[in-house]
Amino acid sequence: MTQLYLITGINLLITLVLITLLSGCEPGEETGDRSSSVDGNGISIEGAWARPGSMGRMSAGYFLVTNFEDEPDTLKGVYSNVAQLTEIHESYEQEEGMVGMREVSEVVIQPNSTVSFEPGGLHVMFIQLTEALAENEDFELTLHFSNAGDVVLEIPVRN
Amino acid sequence: MDFLHVITVFFIRARLCVKHLKHNCMNKKSVLLVLVLISLVILAGCGEEAKDDYGDVSFNLVDQNGEEVNFPDDFRGKPLVLGFIYTHCPDICSLITANLYKTWIELDKPEDIHFVIVTFDPERDTPEVLKDYAADFSMDQPPFRFLTGPKEEVAAFMERVRVRNQVSDIHKTAEGEEMYFLDHTDKILLIDHNSRLVMDYGGSMTPTNIIIEDLEKL
Ligand SMILES: [Cu+2]
């Protein structure tokens, strides 16, 4: 009798552990309803957006880039038709509350990891817009990776 | 919070001393330390009243509509949230600009607070450029004012409010023109109705609820 109780107890324990593990997995899979475009070559871009900007002025674009391959990939360049110059930039902070930004020649995305282009950090810089970027419109941005090749994004404009 | 912790420990130990009638449980050093800390905090509290006073300065600037504006005369009587940007900076400066807009929205569009942004790059940021820039943030509307002015006047103003900037990088555009970028102070100021500086925030990364809390105290 006692042995039966023991076995039932172990079964219950295993069931509980399994339930915990399974339920634990669920929230991790949720990535929200971000716009995403996945390329066949193991590079995924999520949550892209850019600031509105008037003709001749500036804008900045942001996204999350994930490399699902087992080798590093490198973002080598960015291209668009909406600006005279489209560059990879990085904002930085110095001592005494001074800030600035500079061009970055490339960004390495390590295997199975995500690099975030976000306000105050890495951004795609659109210099001297050749057309106005109005809120709720979209435009095309091409990201060139050394392994994955060209990834074309539709970027929504918003603040 | 560290200070509160020290005070709490001090009083708990003091109570224990009384309870057990021990003479050596608190040495003179710790009593002295706490007394010094108390006086330091009181002194710091006194300094917080006014960090600076702009009551006796006068700078003649111009807004995005070409209207003349005097700092601080035209802003007396209401609190003023003041940000500093240049429009060739769509990343960090956008955060500063958007912070003013968010503060206004989150306060339910108050009419009794001034929201003003001043450029430290007046040569490129003319009223016309600032008007486009304001429109891109849905801010080309009252109460927002975007200010520029003569180069020397703006430079003197920036020096007075302790906003520094210097050329960091010169870029060639597609047409071969030179374009510069600036390193600059990241700052938003809160100035009261009497032109006294109340708070000095790191502009781009300041959560708007902190600005709102301070505004509500005025
Ligand atoms: Cu930039």
Q: Convert the pLDDT of each residue in B6-18 to its tens digit.
A: 444 444 454 444 4
Indicate the burial class of A104 (C-beta count within 10 angstroms; 0-12, 13-18, 19 or more): middle
Query: Choosing among A79, A101, A122, which should be mutated to test the B contact, i.e. which has the most B CBs within 10 A?
Result: A101
Q: Which domain holds residue B20?
A: 3-45
Q: What are A115's strand-pairing partners? A: A65
- Indicate whether B65 and B39 sit together in one domain: no
B178 in contact with A, Cβ within 8 Å: no
Structural domain boundaries in chain A: 2-156
- Indicate whether B150 and B107 sit together in one domain: yes
- Indicate whether B8 and B83 sit together in one domain: no
CB-based contacts of B144: which residues, under 8 Å, 6+ apart? Answer: B100, B101, B104, B115, B116, B117, B134
Number of structural domains found in chain B: 2
Q: Report DSSP state, residue A104.
A: -
- Indicate whether B119 and B198 sit together in one domain: yes
Question: Of the residues B27, B45, B63, which one is the last residue of a structural domain?
Answer: B45
Report the Cα–Cα distance between both ends of chain A, in Å, rounded.
69
Q: How many CB pairs under 8 A join A and B?
A: 93
Out of B94, B175, B183, whose CB is closest to A60? B94
* Strands in chain A per DSSP E: 36-38, 43-50, 59-67, 73-80, 83-93, 98-103, 107-109, 113-117, 122-129, 138-145, 149-156
| Contact call for residues A39 and A88 (beta carbons, < 8 A) | no
- Indicate whether B60 and B41 sit together in one domain: no
Secondary structure (DSSP) of B48-98: TS-SEE-TT--EEEE-TTS-EEEETGGGTTS-EEEEEE-TT-SSHHHHHHH
B22 in contact with A, Cβ within 8 Å: no
Secondary structure (DSSP) of B25-40: SS-HHHHHHHHHHHHH
Provide the pLDDT for residue B34: 58
From A25's Cα to the closest Cα of chain B, the distance in A is 32
CA distance linking residue B166 with residue B184, whole number of Å? 7
Please give the single-letter amino acid code of residue A20: T
B172 in contact with A, Cβ within 8 Å: no
CATH label of the domain that carries residue B94: 3.40.30.10
Return the residue of A nearest to B101 by Cα. Answer: A159
Residues in chain B closer than 8 A to A159 (CB atoms): 98, 101, 136-138
Residue A158 token pair: 């918003």
Task: Per-residue pLDDT tens, chain A, 159 aa: give them.
Answer: 444 444 444 454 444 443 444 444 333 333 333 444 555 568 999 999 999 999 999 999 999 999 999 999 999 999 999 999 999 999 999 888 899 999 999 999 999 999 999 999 999 999 999 999 999 999 999 999 999 999 999 999 998
Provide the pLDDT for residue B123: 96
- Indicate whether B36 and B111 sit together in one domain: no
The low-confidence residues of chain B, meaning pLDDT below 50, are: 1-4, 6-12, 14-25, 45-47
Residues in chain B closer than 8 A to A57 (CB atoms): 87, 129, 132-133, 136
CB-based contacts of B79: which residues, under 8 Å, 6+ apart? Answer: B112, B113, B114, B190, B191, B192, B193, B198, B215, B218
Counted residue by residue, chain B has a size of 218
Interchain pair A119, B129: CB under 8 A: no
Interchain pair B171, A101: CB under 8 A: no
Q: Is B20 helix (H, G, I), strand (E, B) or coil?
A: helix
From A141's Cα to the closest Cα of chain B, the distance in A is 17
Q: What is the 3-state secondary structure (H, E, C) of B134-203?
A: HHHCCCCCCCEEEEECCHHHHHHHHHHCCCCEEEEEEEECCCCCEEEEEEEECEEEEECCCCEEEEEEEC
Scanning A85-114 for CB atoms below 8 A from B yields 85, 89, 91, 93-94, 96-103
| Contact call for residues B117 and B146 (beta carbons, < 8 A) | yes
- Indicate whether B38 and B104 sit together in one domain: no
- Bridge pairing between strands A43-50 and B196-202: unpaired
User: In Å, how far are B49, B50, B51, B79, B202 from B45, measured between CA atoms?
Assistant: 7, 11, 11, 21, 21
Ligand 1 midpoint to CA B54 (Å): 33
Residue A85 token pair: 């110059």
Beta carbons within 10 angstroms of residue A17's beta carbon: 10
H or E stretch at B104: helix B92-106
Return the residue of A nearest to B129 by Cα. Answer: A57
- Indicate whether B41 and B127 sit together in one domain: no
Return the residue of B nearest to A135 by Cα. Answer: B136
CA distance linking residue B5 with residue B199, whole number of Å? 26
CA distance linking residue A9 with residue A98, whole number of Å? 63
Q: What is the CATH number of domain A2-156?
A: 2.60.40.1890
- Indicate whether B9 and B66 sit together in one domain: no
- Indicate whether B152 and B170 sit together in one domain: yes
Angle at A22 between CA A18 and CA A28, to 5 degrees: 150
Provide the pLDDT for residue B157: 98
Q: Is A12 helix (H, G, I), strand (E, B) or coil?
A: helix
- Indicate whether B57 and B109 sit together in one domain: yes
